[in-house]
Amino acid sequence: MMRVLLAGLLAALAGPAHATSHVFLVQNSGWMEPFFTDPSSQYKPLIAEVVTAATQPGDALVLAAFNQGLPGAPSPRALMSRSVDDKSQREAVRAALAPLTVARKPHGGALADTDLGEAVGSAMTQALGGKPGLVWLFTNNKNSPNNDQATAQRNREFYQLIHSGAAIRKAVAFPLHMPVKGERYSANGLMVYVFAVQEQGMRELDALLRSGRLQKVITEPPARLKPLDADTVRLVPTRVENVPGVTFATLPDGRLRADVDAQATANGPPPAARITWRLENAIYPYTIAHARIAAQSSLAGAVKPLALAHDDVAALAPGKPQPLASTMALPVANLPGKWSLAALQSAGSAQVLPGRIDVQLSDQKLELSQAFRQRMATLFPGDPLPDIFTPPERIQGSRAALPVEVRLQHGAAPLLAALGALFALLAAAAALLIAATRGRKVLVTVEGEQRTIHTKAGAKTPLYDRAGNRVAALHTTLFGNKLTDLREGAQVRIGR
């Protein structure tokens, strides 16, 4: 039973903080008969290769077979639970799959039915224990060999679990060509689903897809099921008309960079550049049949709308980008001045200010692309298109963001001027210090007797007559000397 796996998986989760938890669900109900009985079937080898590509040392792994749970025949059923190592992963999966055959119902011997929602739900609540992770599903999209009345209901429950369930944050599918022929049934294709559970699971799935490891086994592009309200389009700069004082460039990762000469843009109106984008559909297999589009830039703390050549999108299909012209103004008034601390710190090099361009689609209508419909009809002939690919009606808009980097070039002149002023200030301070500590000779006359007094700035030297009586004090400052505490009738003066 799947519950037996809980303790083993939780123990594996106690490994490295970066480890990912995977649950691989392998369908073995009646409709899967040709995938098990055809001698040329690549079903089990594919699963072993996907598991090997998707997991890394330290990850937690559960492998289970599923159909439809009945009294005396629980589903899913554990095949393997372990912590992944880098030595025997492929062989361990192959050994666990080797004895797996088509499941039958207890007592009657009929081929087992399937409940996709039951399998995915058990994987999340029991195998993962409510924690983040990835749930993989290998299926032919059929829920019941006998096409009983409960099939439609189970399909709706599966749809609701994926699209409306809060636990699943991202879902993708890979329709694969796999022709097989058994004694009872035949099939042309197989579907591999991946469900990312919670935010951490979504980050782990994104990282896996970016790594390219999975693409070495599955070359088909992932069909996105969820989310359909984020990152649905991409903006790729294709042509930029530079303006005086501003030079644009496209970085290898797709970001737009603007090099701004602070001196050239200090006077005159704010510069604005005309940018032509390639607007790409990022939600294969859906076509954006129609949507209203708006965009704004967030640069140097200023949010400004982008003036677009048109405010709507129509028939934007995957792999068929559309041009989109725009005008973007740079908020020069918000950029740090040449005498700012940031400018002085970056003198002689570029001061980098991160920003972004936000794209918002509203009144959005999605349709499955015709190419995907044709592919599904080829892989699953005679089967209705799974409802899971029907976009929810409540998704009316989506958003996307393009990072932008502004590099502000101030030059070295402000820094040199600041350094000159600093050196002048230090020189003046040094002169004052020397003057304050330098010894001085002062000639004073006391009752007709000339005396030379050795003193320095800040000193107060008492003066006495011939009888030893104090008659005055000589007070020396940075700016001169003066007599203080002069006794009445005493004859004392500075100089001869």
Residues 265-284 have pLDDT tens digits of: 555 556 677 888 889 998 99
Domain identity same for 199 and 241? no
Q: Tell me the pairing of strands 439-446 and 449-456.
A: antiparallel
Q: What is the CATH number of the domain that holds 83?
A: 3.40.50
Residue closest to 217 by CA, chosen among 49, 43, 22: 49
Say if residue 407's pLDDT is above 70. Answer: yes
Domain identity same for 200 and 329? no
Is residue 343 in some structural domain? Answer: yes
- 350: number of Cβ within 10 Å: 15
pLDDT, average across residues 342-368: 73
Residue closest to 300 by CA, chosen among 255, 252, 337, 345: 337
Is residue 358 in some structural domain? Answer: yes
Q: What residues does 359 pair with on adjacent strands?
A: 295, 400
Is residue 330 in some structural domain? Answer: yes
Residue closest to 383 by CA, chosen among 68, 141, 111: 141
How far is CA 302 from each of CA 296, 351, 365, rounded to the nearest angstrom? 10, 17, 31
Is residue 256 in some structural domain? Answer: yes
pLDDT band (50, 70, 90) for residue 3: very low
Domain identity same for 202 and 252? no
The burial of 223, by beta-carbon neighbours within 10 Å (0-12 exposed, 13-18 middle, 19 or more buried), is given as buried
Q: Which residues contact 496 (CB under 8 A, 6 or more apart)?
A: 443, 445, 450
Say if residue 11's pLDDT is above 60. Answer: no
Is residue 476 in some structural domain? Answer: yes
Domain of 311, in residue numbers: 233-369+383-415
Domain identity same for 312 and 243? yes
Which tokens hold the place of 177? 């060509």
Domain identity same for 62 and 146? yes
**Could you identify the residue written with the tokens 């740079």?**
330
Q: How many domains does the chain have?
A: 3
Domain identity same for 77 and 161? yes
Q: Are 298 and 358 in contact (CB under 8 A)?
A: yes
Between 29-43, 107-121, 138-152, 309-323, the lowest mean confidence (pLDDT) is in: 138-152
Which amino acid, 451? Answer: R
pLDDT, average across residues 340-351: 51
Domain identity same for 340 and 478? no
How many CA atoms lie within 13 Å of 324's alpha carbon, on the beta-carbon side?
A: 26
* Domain endpoint, select from 209, 226, 243: 226
Say if residue 416's pLDDT is above 80. Answer: no
- In the three-class reduction of DSSP (H, G, I as helix; E, B as strand; rest coil), residue 268 is classed as coil
Is residue 429 in some structural domain? Answer: no
Is residue 353 in some structural domain? Answer: yes
Q: What is the DSSP string of 148-192?
A: -THHHHHHHHHHHHHHT-SSEEEEEEEEEEEEEE-SS-EEEEEEE
Q: Which residues contact 369 (CB under 8 A, 6 or more apart)?
A: 284, 285, 286, 287, 317, 318
Residue closest to 29 by CA, chosen among 79, 77, 82: 77
- Report percent pLDDT > 90 for the chain: 34
pLDDT higher at 243 or 414:
243
The H or E element spanning position 206 is: helix 198-211
Domain identity same for 341 and 474? no
Which tokens hold the place of 331? 């908020």
How far is residue 70's CA from residue 83's CA, in Å, rounded to a whole number?
A: 30
Is residue 377 in some structural domain? Answer: no
Which tokens hold the place of 397? 């808009």
Domain identity same for 216 and 325? no
Q: What is the DSSP string of 9-63?
A: HHHHHTS-TT--EEEEEEE-SGGGHHHHH-TT--HHHHHHHHHHHH--TT-EEEE
Q: What is the CATH number of the domain that holds 238?
A: 2.60.40
Q: What is the DSSP string of 297-326?
A: EEETTEEEE-EES-SEEEEE-TT--EEEEE
pLDDT single digits (tens) 111-145: 888 889 999 999 999 999 999 999 999 998 876 65
Domain identity same for 471 and 396? no
pLDDT single digits (tens) 155-201: 778 888 888 888 999 999 999 999 999 998 899 999 999 999 999 99
* Domain endpoint, select from 174, 200, 226: 226
Domain identity same for 45 and 190? yes
Domain identity same for 443 and 358? no
pLDDT, average across residues 227-241: 84
